[in-house]
């Protein structure tokens, strides 16, 4: 079976974890601090603040911005955490449609949905492709909105020479095992704003300004030294991992672009796409799924429904009519693009798509 995703963990990560275990300092400590500094330097920001996972990164960032009782514009074609994090932070998600080529937020649809209660906009760099950040930042400035970059699928992606996570007011990353780099579980928040950073530091650690002085209602959302040790080594390899993903994507582009029933990913000018997923559109998806299952090729449907179509959102009263999203969810399928793929596996995946799409 060729897996849709596979974490790449080497001897360096194993040695780093063993070093932490032997030190006896397993909780948040010097390894976390080292990882945060390295990640901030890599993204090009003043602050990087680690946490337990990508969802909590989003929640902490939104709480620090004070979204309670306010609206946050967010695309519906993404993982549900982009919306549930807004609800957990006390805000209200306002669902926005997507651009049909990039699958990222439709800025003009977002513009139409801004009300007096809007406080932030959350572009999602879906599948590793940066959003049109110039347009989003202009929209936010025009309406005095915070910009929260959901970069959970876009480690190392670049927009006009800048790393995603360094453009908005705050950004969030996930280190889940299927991501472009991993710490097992874990998340990171990046920002250039000193006040936002200080608020997040307190919120993730029981609201402490200093030891046993609790000035905010906070929680324990701390990363461990064990996770950070893995992250330090993974970060060193991230560019190499991403280049392999991009190389694999270029091969698929070449092999699949001439197939009538297949639409390969569109990449906007002046960006570096890092292909967390290589997602194609097909006219007869079930036929291709059947072939993948028969021939041992992993695949993913990301996502089979918009968030606004999920039962829990309808139960909570968050509804929308998003024609592009509602069309795309019936056509997309993601194929293996991870850096552990061999040439033979790439060839097999492409061959199955060419024969059966």
Residue 7's nearest CA partner among 241, 229, 172, 225 is 241
pLDDT in tens, 251-263: 999 999 999 999 9
User: What is the SS3 assignment for 174?
Assistant: strand
CA 118 to chain centre: 23
55-63 mean pLDDT: 98
pLDDT at 338: 98
- The two tokens of residue 3 are 């897996």
Pairing of strands 158-159, 146-150: unpaired
Distance from C-alpha of 182 to C-alpha of 187, rounded to nearest angstrom: 9
Please, which residues have CB within 8 angstroms of residue 247's CB and are 6 or more apart in sequence? none
pLDDT at 16: 97
pLDDT in tens, 102-143: 999 999 999 999 999 999 999 999 999 999 999 999 999 999
71-77 mean pLDDT: 98
Asked whether the whole model's pTM tops 0.95, one would answer yes
Q: Is it true that the peptide bond before 169 is cis, omega within 30 degrees of 0? A: no
Q: Which domains does the chain have, with CATH numbers?
A: 11-233 (3.40.640.10), 238-356 (3.90.1150.10)
- The residue whose two tokens read 């400590």 is 29
φ, ψ of residue 93 to 5 degrees: the values are -70, 135
pLDDT at 322: 98
């Amino acid at each position: 079976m060729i897996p849709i995703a596979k974490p790449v963990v080497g001897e360096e990560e194993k040695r780093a974890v063993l070093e932490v275990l032997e030190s006896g300092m397993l909780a948040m400590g010097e390894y976390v601090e080292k990882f945060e500094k390295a990640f901030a330097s890599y993204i090009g920001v003043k602050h990087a603040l680690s946490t337990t996972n990508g969802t909590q990164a989003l929640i902490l960032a939104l709480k620090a911005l004070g979204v309670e009782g306010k609206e946050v514009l967010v695309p519906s074609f993404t993982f549900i955490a982009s919306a549930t994090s807004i609800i957990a932070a006390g805000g209200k998600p306002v669902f926005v449609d997507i651009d049909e080529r990039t699958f990222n937020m439709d800025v003009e649809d977002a513009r139409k949905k801004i009300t007096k209660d809007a406080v932030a906009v959350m572009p999602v760099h879906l599948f590793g492709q940066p959003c049109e950040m110039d347009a989003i930042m202009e929209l936010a400035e025009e309406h005095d909105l915070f910009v929260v970059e959901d970069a959970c699928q876009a480690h190392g992606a670049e927009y006009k020479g800048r790393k995603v996570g360094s453009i908005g007011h705050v950004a969030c990353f996930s280190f889940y095992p299927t991501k472009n780099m991993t710490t097992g579980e874990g998340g990171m928040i990046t920002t250039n704003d000193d006040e936002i950073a200080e608020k997040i530091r307190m919120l993730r650690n029981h609201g402490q300004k200093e030891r046993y002085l609790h000035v905010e209602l906070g929680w324990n959302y701390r990363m461990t030294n064990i996770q950070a040790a893995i992250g330090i080594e993974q970060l060193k390899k991230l560019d190499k991992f991403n280049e392999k993903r991009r190389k694999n994507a270029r091969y698929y582009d070449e092999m699949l672009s001439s197939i009538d029933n297949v639409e390969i990913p569109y990449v906007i000018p002046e960006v570096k796409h890092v292909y967390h997923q290589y997602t194609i559109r097909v006219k007869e998806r079930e036929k291709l799924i059947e072939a993948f299952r028969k021939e041992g090729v992993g695949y993913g449907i990301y996502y089979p429904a918009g968030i606004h179509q999920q039962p829990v959102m309808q139960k909570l009263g968050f509804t929308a009519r998003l024609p592009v999203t509602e069309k795309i969810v019936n056509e997309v399928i993601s194929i293996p693009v991870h850096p552990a793929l061999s040439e033979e596996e790439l060839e097999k995946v492409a061959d199955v798509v060419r024969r059966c799409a």
